[in-house]
Amino acid sequence: MIAIVMFLALVGALRGLAIASKEKQISRRTFFGFASLVWAPLLALAVLDLMILEGASLSLNLQNSSVWISFWFLLTSYPLFSRVVWRLNDAGKGRFWGYLALVPYLNFFVFVYLCVLPTKSEKAEV
């Protein structure tokens, strides 16, 4: 079941990248806020996993965490990747960076890059 949900999340992300508006733009501050909201459960789960690996005794049941995270990705993949395209439009970059954000472990660096990348108008002033 998890594989089906993750496949559907990938389809949602690809759909968001493919049909997002080429005219809409989003500032880096707004993008950072939205991306951090979407990534918050994943980061919290990573911190909890690290705490458990270090020997912290937590009374949390994380047995179904992969199911919940996969459903979270399913719900947020389309809106997140459509906003990735809007941010790329704002920065004057191509959609290649959006597709690069689908690669695991590399996506974190792409999101950080999108959060610090200046807009087209800021580039023109320099």
pLDDT digits (tens, 9 = 90+) for 30-85: 999 999 998 888 888 888 878 878 877 766 666 677 788 888 889 999 999 999 99
| Mean pLDDT over each residue of the chain, to the nearest integer | 86
* Confidence band for 126, pLDDT divided at 50, 70 and 90: very low
Report pLDDT for 43.
84
* Confidence band for 122, pLDDT divided at 50, 70 and 90: low
The yes-or-no verdict on residue 112 having pLDDT over 50 is yes
Contact, 13 vs 80, CB < 8 A?
A: yes
Kindly list the distances between the CA atom of residue 64 and the CA atoms of 10, 33, 70, 83, 104, in Å, as whole numbers in the listed order. Answer: 20, 27, 10, 29, 21
Q: Name the residue with higher pLDDT: 15 or 121.
A: 15
